[in-house]
Amino acid sequence: MQRGGCLCGAITYEVTGALGPVTACHCTQCRKQTGHYAAAVPAPWGDVTLSGTPKWYNSTPGARRGFCGTCGSYLFWEEYDGLVYLMAGAFDAPTGLRMDGHIYYADKGDYYTAGEDLPCFAAGRSGPEVPS
């Protein structure tokens, strides 16, 4: 079981079951939401027990971002596909999680590079890879 939550503790969650790999998203929306890039891990909503009530922002058609209304911690990304994408940095350590790649790398900030030997996709995973 993995546990996580926001900075102030108003929202916590527990996840039973296996988590997918961490994916870094460098799209403009994720960069503006986080101040850098988002690192998220997918889990079925049915495996998540949530305590507290997040605020939701409908950022794009068919998707929303969840955060704590008190401290502002960004916690969730949801596309209404039965999965929730949990921000990897909000999990309590140790997690045992590993990153598997970067998406929307063509939109990344100009002040950094990925720095690992992981695939970097120009857009989503179905698009071409680009150098890091």
pTM: 0.92
How many domains does one find in the chain?
1
Distances (CA, A) of 36 to 50, 63, 111: 26, 20, 10
Give yes or no for residue 32 having a pLDDT over 90. yes
Q: For residues 106-122, give the mean pLDDT.
A: 94
12, 75 Cβ separation under 8 angstroms: no
pLDDT band at 132 (very low <50, low <70, confident <90, very high): confident
Residue 64: which CATH number? 2.170.150.70
Q: Does residue 55 fall inside a structural domain?
A: yes
Output the pLDDT for position 76: 97
Taking a C-beta distance cutoff of 8 angstroms, is the pair 121, 130 a contact? yes
Section 103-126 average pLDDT = 93
In which domain, by residue range, is 7 found? 2-20+38-93
